[in-house]
């Protein structure tokens, strides 16, 4: 890829934005007030704002391999704290995607060096849901289901944080689990029953 193209694209994008609103960048410079925190995969095909049809200023984004919410990862924890406590977003989304390379790698026996401890968190999801997953004969379906269950468990990890628990109680913050179907482009709401999950985990994880 010739990176000159990127800078040419940028010039075109500036022109497009100014045609619609001459004050576009002045307004953008005034600050942000996003309503949504999106935690997605770093995969180049999962384009956060683009697939949701949202623009600059509308969504706070964090992406890592396999959209993980790991309690000891200072990066994702700082993003959650900042978005929930300071920006006061009303929705937090964990968005996985079918054909996720990170999830696939966690289903195989391979030493991947520094990726091992990261992928181990997905293996933990497999272990928690081993009975359900092992009952699925079709490898492709098992893979898709692990993508969904991984999203669910990362949502549970969000609920374990004090910031999310406080925002739930004080202003009804909502957590959502979605999957992007890379084969069709469709965004699927897993409609995870958070009330049930919350009741189940709060006995142990209640902080505030």
Determine whether 206 is an active site residue.
no
Determine whether 155 is an active site residue.
no
Binding range to Co ion, per CB under 5 A, among 70-78, 93-101, 144-152, 170-178: 93-101
Interacting positions 23-42 with Co ion (CB under 5 A)? 41
CA distance 163 to 100: 28
CA distance 180 to 193: 19
Q: Which of 36, 37, 100, 149 binds Co ion (CB under 5 A)?
A: 100
Q: Which of 43, 144, 148, 153 binds Co ion (CB under 5 A)?
A: 43
Q: What φ, ψ does residue 103 adopt, rounded to 5°?
A: -65, -40
Determine whether 45 is an active site residue.
yes
List 62, 95, 97, 155, catalytic entry: 97
Question: Comparing C-alpha atoms, which of 180, 177, 150 is closest to residue 44?
Answer: 180
Assess contact for 17 and 9: CB atoms under 8 A. Answer: no
Task: Give the residue with the Cβ less far from Co ion, 173 or 179.
Answer: 179
Closest contact distance (angstroms) between CB of 102 and Co ion is 5
Helices (H), 56-135: 74-81, 101-106, 115-128, 130-134
Assess contact for 78 and 98: CB atoms under 8 A. Answer: no
Closest contact distance (angstroms) between CB of 41 and Co ion is 3
Residues at the site binding Co ion, with contacts judged by CB under 5 A = 41, 43, 100, 102
Which positions are annotated as active-site residues?
41, 43, 45, 97, 100
């Amino acid at each position: 890829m010739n990176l000159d193209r990127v800078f040419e694209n940028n010039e075109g994008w500036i022109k497009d934005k100014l045609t619609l609103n001459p004050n576009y960048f002045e307004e953008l410079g005034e600050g942000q007030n996003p309503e949504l925190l999106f935690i997605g995969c770093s995969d180049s095909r999962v384009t956060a704002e683009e697939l949701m049809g949202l623009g600059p200023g509308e969504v706070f984004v964090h992406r890592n391999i396999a959209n993980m919410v790991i309690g000891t990862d200072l990066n994702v924890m700082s993003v959650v704290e900042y978005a929930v406590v300071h920006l006061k977003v009303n929705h937090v989304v964990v968005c996985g995607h079918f054909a996720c390379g990170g999830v696939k790698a966690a289903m195989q026996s391979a030493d991947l060096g520094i990726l091992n401890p990261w992928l181990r968190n997905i293996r933990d999801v497999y272990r928690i849901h081993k009975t359900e997953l092992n009952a699925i004969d079709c490898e492709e379906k098992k893979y898709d289901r692990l993508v969904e269950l991984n999203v669910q468990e990362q949502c549970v990890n969000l609920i374990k944080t004090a910031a999310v628990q406080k925002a739930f109680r004080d202003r009804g913050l909502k957590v959502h689990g979605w999957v992007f179907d890379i084969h069709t482009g469709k965004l699927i709401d897993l409609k995870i029953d958070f009330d049930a999950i919350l009741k189940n985990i709060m006995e142990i994880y209640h902080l505030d």
